[in-house]
Structure 1
Amino acid sequence: MDDKDLEYFRNILQTELDELLNKAGLAVGELIGAAYSNEADPLDRATEEQARNNQLRMRDRESRLIAKIRKCLQSMDDGSYGICEICEEPIGIARLKARPVTSYCITCKTQQEALERVTGA
């Protein structure tokens, strides 16, 4: 991967990281504010709780994505970005454009998913 490609992916990842961190900060404030709601109706409370649970699930997914992005940015610094963690071959640019946080080439990821389907893991 040349420097131009690396800078392209660094910009994409950094922009996404900044957006996720900004959204996370706003969500924390919303969750804190929602925790003090005193809905009298049990159905309203149940609806609020379900919405809060959904929001917490989304924040958890975003938190894992933040960790992946940070790992990718670190791998750019150490020169290992774009190299498959399994076969150690370069990951195709098209694959990285589709999923910039990937750690596996398409062949290894396909094999991994097939194994997961067979083992149920």
Structure 2
Amino acid sequence: MAKKDTFRIVTRGSDGSLLIRDYPSIDPILNANIQIGSDDCSTDLELRGLPVFRGLIGPMPEGKNIVRYESPEVFETLTKEWGNAKPRRRTRRSAATIAAEAAEAAEAAEATIA
């Protein structure tokens, strides 16, 4: 497993943009926030034991080596956007379509040989 070595705080700016701050260790975050507990139920085992802060949602994994904390407003907004995103519909080709494409490819191959 890769070591989680970047701690990211995501908040919303006054203009509505996302503000992302990265820290090389948890220490600056511990000094600026109140710890109310420790994560003991994450499915990512590397997050277990990391602090839980008042006013921040997290810790949550982001990539292989980033631990992410979000403000409640950012968490709610991004979760709603994620939930409303429509998945791309994948169409399956029918047996008739596959046979027709194979026949076209065979005809094209014969035409190039002749």
Please indicate, yes or no, whether the TM-score normalized by the shorter chain is above 0.5. Answer: no
Query: Is the radius of gyration larger for structure 1 or structure 2?
Result: 2
More helix by share: 1
Return the TM-score normalized by structure 2: 0.24
Larger fraction in strand: 2
